[in-house]
Amino acid sequence: MSSPTPSIQDPFKAWKFLVLPTLKVSDVFSLFLKATIAICTFVSISLVFYSFLNQSQWQPCPECHKSLISDHMKITNGNVSGDFYEKTNISHVLFGIGGSAKTWNKRRHYTELWWMPNITRGYVWLDQKPPENRTWPDTSPEYKVSADTSRFKYTCSYGSRSALRIARIVKESFELGEENVRWFVMGDDDTVFFIENLVMVLAKYDHNQMYYIGGNSESVEQDVIHSYTMAYGGGGFAISYPLAKELVRVLDGCIDRYASFYGSDQKIQGCMSEIGVPLTKELGFHQVDIRGDPYGLLAAHPLAPLVSLHHLDYVQSIFPKLNRIDSVKKLISSYKMDPGRVLQYSFCYDLTRNWSVSASWGYTIQIHPSLMPAKQLESAFRTFQTWRSWSNGPFTFNTRPMSQHPCLRPVVYFLDRVERVGDGTLTTYKRSVQEFGQVCDLPEYAPVLAVKLVNVTTSTSLKPDIWNLVSYFSLLAFLEKL
Ligand SMILES: *[C@@H]1O[C@H](CO)[C@@H](O)[C@H](O)[C@H]1NC(C)=O
Ligand SMILES: *[C@@H]1O[C@H](CO)[C@@H](O)[C@H](O)[C@H]1NC(C)=O
Ligand SMILES: *[C@@H]1O[C@H](CO)[C@@H](O)[C@H](O)[C@H]1NC(C)=O
Ligand SMILES: *[C@@H]1O[C@H](CO)[C@@H](O)[C@H](O)[C@H]1NC(C)=O
Ligand SMILES: *[C@@H]1O[C@H](CO)[C@@H](O)[C@H](O)[C@H]1NC(C)=O
Ligand SMILES: *[C@@H]1O[C@H](CO)[C@@H](O)[C@H](O)[C@H]1NC(C)=O
């Protein structure tokens, strides 16, 4: 086991962990606990950020922050392509959601979680007009009825012809000719978008160039069958205006050429291959092609803004003791406070107690009563199975088994409350008792189990500039190699 890194300065400004012990402790350990816990009523731990953001890359920040930012601006906002443009905002995105008249009422609650009437632009595309006697909810996007697709070929034996209609949503949206659209964003009726983050991600790219942005399936078996080069439709994907323009020109032909492809997203990707535009993968788009409990996936999210979640009716609730919709609402409560930070994963070590603490901000905290290497902490607990065959893998990211034995698991806390404190936030996480079965009775677990609440404070919100810096540093690392 590699030795743990001692605390370093947190590049995202000090987070503090306030560990609040309970007063009710078991007799056996009370002596030990009094000694430990008395000292730790007010402990602060700096976080060690994992992954490629190593210390030396971050150290120059305070000194060169300004020059980096302005250089970066020169690259993206300059007159490189001949036209200066204002920063992308939500008004530049036109959504196209694939729905159906029969099921909209049952599924609209997912869209309505993120849809902001009069702010978000776009339509739900239905197979037919909704029943005359039902008023269309004004919390839903306006609907449009898709054009007839009976003239197209569809030869996939296990799929549905509705894929044709849904593939054409981007074309029908484009042909509406709406003004000031930079991005066409496609999603399913059960896709939950986190739109501040979606905009943050799209704003990194020049919408005057051809971009096709989205994510893969988490299950390798799906990527093997459907393609690694495709943006999965349920996770949502974005197509820049110039690419949409070209796509619209060739789409109907592609639909017939790829008649044997199962899904609408696959037919779109067939066209992209012909145009020659590869998928730009963004790690915040989540198809959620998994079964079981998505906990492990969300508790070890990569360092990237959360853009979408999908298939939430096919996995367990993301919070224990809450139903699926209320669970997503709970996650949205922390997301609203600090959109860029939600689910951002970080960990730190408490060297006075030999604990490893990991946080997926706004969702969960895990405390291991031992020092675990970063490499181990960063890989997701396999609380889920693959989409198609319900197997233990493989996935497109590293996982580790979640043991049934309570002494081989961390102690888990889930978001309880979130409030604003000054420019930052205070999030409180409560220990989850039932969800992960029995508790471990080893002595090293007792002091952790005595911690019923974990408070995490942040002093600022995670600004979009951080993500620009992340890409800037990748660029810098690349340039240094040349
Ligand atoms: C960009 O170029 C156009 C003409 O090509 C010019 O009108 C505009 O002022 C330039 N913008 C900036 C920020 O230099
Ligand atoms: C979005 O940007 C446009 C400029 O392209 C601006 O006119 C508009 O006010 C902005 N909207 C919001 C909601 O910020
Ligand atoms: C949206 O705008 C229209 C008119 O501009 C207005 O009648 C309607 O009440 C608005 N809806 C919401 C939810 O703000
Ligand atoms: C709408 O009309 C259909 C028959 O046309 C009927 O079955 C349905 O119950 C009606 N729904 C409501 C909400 O009135
Ligand atoms: C923490 O671990 C170190 C090295 O393994 C050990 O020397 C020390 O006694 C431990 N501290 C506690 C509080 O268990
Ligand atoms: C943790 O936060 C809660 C509010 O959620 C507050 O009541 C409690 O005093 C805080 N504990 C510490 C140690 O700051």
Structure tokens at 111: 């869209």
pTM of the model: 0.81
DSSP classification of residue 459: S
- Would you say residue 28 has pLDDT above 90? no
Asked whether 388 and 221 are in contact (CB, 8 A), the reply is yes
Class (C level, CATH) for 90-281: alpha beta
Task: Render pLDDT for 201-259 as a digit per residue (tens, 0 to 9).
Answer: 999 999 999 999 999 999 999 999 999 999 999 999 999 999 999 999 999 999 999 99
Is the C-beta atom of 119 inside 6 A of ligand 2? no
Which residue intervals of 214-361 are DSSP H helices? 220-226, 241-257, 264-275, 295-299, 324-337
CB 69, CB 77: distance < 8 Å: no
Contacts of 378 (CB under 8 A, 6+ apart): 50, 51, 300, 345, 347, 398
Peptide bond into 394 cis (omega under 30): yes
Asked if pLDDT for residue 66 goes beyond 70, the answer is: no
Q: ∠ CA(263), CA(269), CA(272), 5° rounding?
A: 155
The response to whether residue 417 sits with its C-beta less than 6 Å from ligand 4 reads no
The preferred substitution site among 102, 133, 135, 136 for testing ligand 4, maximizing ligand atoms within 8 Å of CB, is: 133
Q: Which tens digit of pLDDT belongs to each residue from 94-117?
A: 999 999 999 999 999 999 999 999
pLDDT in tens, 316-353: 999 998 999 999 999 999 999 999 999 998 888 999 99
pLDDT tens for each residue of 256-292:
999 999 999 999 999 999 999 999 999 999 999 999 9
Residue 133 alpha carbon to ligand 4 centre in Å: 6
Q: What is the DSSP string of 398-442?
A: -EEE--SSGGGS-EEEEEEEEEEETTEEEEEEEE-SSTT-SPP-S
Three-class SS of residue 226?
Answer: helix
Which atom, in ligand 3's list, is nearest to the CA of 118? 1
68, pLDDT greater than 50: no
CA 374 to chain centre: 21
State whether the beta carbon of 131 lies less than 6 angstroms from ligand 4.
Answer: yes
Task: Give the separation between CA 129 and CA 147, rounded to whole angstroms.
Answer: 11
Please check the confidence at residue 64 and state whether its pLDDT lies above 50: no
Q: Following DSSP, what letter does each residue of 379-396 receive, concatenated? A: SEEE-EEETTT--S--BS
Contacts of 13 (CB under 8 A, 6+ apart): 458, 459, 460
Q: Is the CB of 86 under 6 A from ligand 2?
A: yes
Look up residue 57 and give its two tokens.
């890359």
**Alpha-carbon distance values, 164 to 158, 268, 270, 407 (Å):** 14, 10, 13, 51
Q: Residues of 250-280 as b/e, b for ≥16 C-beta within 10 angstroms?
A: bbbebbeebeebbbbbbbbbbbbeeeebebb
What are the residue ranges spanned by the domains of the chain? 90-281, 344-467
